[in-house]
Amino acid sequence: DAKTTQPNSMESNEEEPVHLPCNHSTISGTDYIHWYRQLPSQGPEYVIHGLTSNVNNRMASLAIAEDRKSSTLILHRATLRDAAVYYCILRDRATSGTYKYIFGTGTRLKVLA
């Protein structure tokens, strides 16, 4: 089962910031928080990841709560191209020693022109 909880959908106006929340109350001390997004008719693509500190890259920022039980993906200026399903993922350790992603249903972001 997915280890994260996200709202099913959110809306934002174009060129405004968007805050996408994620709850992960069972996170362990070594779990990284990953965000991927899936544009229509495409495979998921990496957005950002973090462990404890807030992270920034060219696509987004990731704010992680001090207790690490929740995080927020921040798109600073939403564009129509950002309309997608956003997945917050904690990796699950397989018996083989590798890691695998357990996807939930994600948050469908609608951007209004």
Partner 1 sequence: EAGVAQSPRYKIIEKRQSVAFWCNPISGHATLYWYQQILGQGPKLLIQFQNNGVVDDSQLPKDRFSAERLKGVDSTLKIQPAKLEDSAVYLCASSLDPTRLSTDTQYFGPGTRLTVL
Q: Which parts of this chain interact with partner 1 (CB under 8 A)?
A: 2, 30, 32, 34, 36, 41-46, 49, 51, 85, 87, 94-106
Check residue 80 and report its DSSP letter.
G
Is 49 strand, coil or helix?
Answer: strand
Q: Is residue 17 within 8 Å of residue 76, measured between CB atoms?
A: yes
For partner 1, which is the closer residue by CB, 41 or 53?
41
Residue with tokens 């996408």: 20
CB of 109 to partner 1, least distance (A): 15
For partner 1, which is the closer residue by CB, 102 or 112?
102
For partner 1, which is the closer residue by CB, 4 or 12?
4
In angstroms, the CA 72 to CA 61 distance is 8
